[in-house]
Amino acid sequence: MKIELNKNKVFFNNGKSLQEIHPFWLRERVDGEDFLDKGTQQRLFDPSIMNSEIVIKEAHIKDGFLEVGFNDGVNSKLDLNKLESEFSDKDIIIKSISKKKWDSNLKNVKNFEYKENLFETKEMHDLLVSFYEYGFVIIKNVPTENNYIVKFANSIGSVRRTNFGEHFNVKSKSDPNDLAYTTLHIGPHTDNPYRNPVPCIQMLHCIENEVSGGYSTLVDGYTVSEKLKKEDPEAYKILTDVKVRFKFTDKSVILEDWSELIHLDENEEFKQVRFSPRLDYVPMLEKDKLDQFYKARKKLSDLYNSEKNEVKFKLEPKDLMMMDNHRVLHGRTKFDPEEGKRFLQGCYIDFDSTEGKLRHLKRKFNL
């Protein structure tokens, strides 16, 4: 990719074709001290109120800069590397991390160790990359005092508060408003499918775990949906087409949102799964279509509930697990509260937190 000049026109050469760059596109990027605030990198002028009939009076390329003068009297030196980095309209930082498929054979996933100032280290960068690859990551030895999980989450980005509070305590209790607060087995599910937007990342921090049961289970929704797509394209199709209603009701709120069980992006590629069979309501479709839908959902549920697709482990005190709630389903096995305490704390953050942190660390360590 290269920037070239022809008379007073600026072109972008991508190796295959030549495309003229709109003079106003360049004028918007003028970055002298009168035009751009150094500290915030925000504009000191408003291009939306300017006349877009801008013409380039002169242009030169010198020492990695495009020197350009416009007909409104403004001259500027624009960094060619910076301009060229804008020619891709894709978010290459996150998209360049490819998802790794996994099932019960998953081994050797690296656990990370908490240390002071972790959040500003190269280790944190590696931790986030691993999170985007597998959809979850475990950090050992995270302090448990004073709801440290909230501090942990806020050191990456910002806690996303939900109807369960800023953070929530997973202990069995009387009169629970969610089965999480019982001692029962909980099948694989994603959290808060009834929220718009659905919280992106769940953190679960083990404070105490004295019981012999209560194992954590994880299933990769990405691997499972790709498997279904291959093995039963029709089932996959209907699950990516039909939107179901997810609903949560308690004394103070009614939350509701509609989505496909497997949600695809604009390129028909995996984007998100939602699965919470305790609170989904399928619309009233034609009987034949519903027949297909129920069969497909059963197939998906069988895959989610199959031991072949599940990893099962016990969270130790001070383990903190981050899970992509748009990709990975979680559950737990039942436990006997007579055996001792089991106490986990949880909270949510969104992808802008982890993505923002990752971009920052890449910039900081020149990665």
Q: Which of 311, 324, 325 is nearest to 132 (CA)?
A: 324
How far apart CA 34 and CA 123 sit, in angstroms, is 39
Which residues 112-141 are close enough to bind Fe ion by CB under 5 A?
Answer: none
Stretch that binds Fe ion, among 187-195, 256-264, 265-273, 304-312 (CB under 5 A): 187-195
How far apart CA 173 and CA 315 sit, in angstroms, is 20
Q: Measured from the CB atom, is 191 or 220 closer to Fe ion? A: 191
Stretch that binds Fe ion, among 96-104, 145-153, 184-192, 250-258 (CB under 5 A): 184-192
Q: Measured from the CB atom, is 30 or 321 closer to Fe ion? A: 321
Write down the number of H helices and E strands in the chain. 9, 23
Least distance (Å) from Fe ion to the CB of residue 84?
44
Q: Measured from the CB atom, is 30 or 206 closer to Fe ion? A: 206
Least distance (Å) from Fe ion to the CB of residue 330?
6
Stretch that binds Fe ion, among 95-103, 130-138, 183-191, 240-248 (CB under 5 A): 183-191
Rule CB under 5 A: choose which of 191, 257, 319, 324 binds Fe ion. Answer: 191
Vertex 200, ends 205 and 323: CA angle to 5°?
Answer: 40
Q: Which long-range contacts link 17-23 to residues 24+ away (Cβ below 8 Å)?
A: 23/54, 23/55, 23/56, 23/70
Q: Name 245's bridge partners.
A: 258, 281
Q: Measured from the CB atom, is 157 or 187 closer to Fe ion? A: 187
Q: Is the peptide bond before 197 cis (omega within 30 degrees of 0)?
A: yes
Q: Measured from the CB atom, is 233 or 277 closer to Fe ion? A: 277
Which strands make up the sheet holding 2-6, listed edge to edge? 2-6, 9-13, 18-20
Stretch that binds Fe ion, among 52-60, 69-77, 99-107, 186-194 (CB under 5 A): 186-194
324 binds Fe ion (CB under 5 A): no
194-233 footprint of Fe ion as x/- string (CB under 5 A): ----------------------------------------
Least distance (Å) from Fe ion to the CB of residue 357?
24
Region of 127 on the Ramachandran plot (φ > 0 left; ψ -120 to 50 alpha; else beta) = alpha
Stretch that binds Fe ion, among 158-166, 190-198, 290-298, 321-329 (CB under 5 A): 190-198
Least distance (Å) from Fe ion to the CB of residue 180?
6
Least distance (Å) from Fe ion to the CB of residue 208?
19
Please list, in sequence order, all residues whose beta carbon lies within 8 angstroms of the beta carbon of residue 12, skipping any fewer than 6 positions away.
1, 2, 3, 4, 18, 19, 20, 21, 87
Cβ atoms of residues 351 and 223 within 8 Å = no
Q: Measured from the CB atom, is 191 or 350 closer to Fe ion? A: 191
Least distance (Å) from Fe ion to the CB of residue 210?
21
Tokens, residue 79? 């960094």
Q: Measured from the CB atom, is 202 or 225 closer to Fe ion? A: 202
Q: Measured from the CB atom, is 191 or 310 closer to Fe ion? A: 191
Q: Measured from the CB atom, is 76 or 309 closer to Fe ion? A: 309
Which residue is nearest to Fe ion, using beta carbons? 191
**Cα(first)–Cα(last) distance of the chain, in Å?**
21
Tokens 């436990």 belong to 335
How far apart CA 22 and CA 176 sit, in angstroms, is 60
Least distance (Å) from Fe ion to the CB of residue 323?
9
Binding site for Fe ion (CB under 5 A): 191
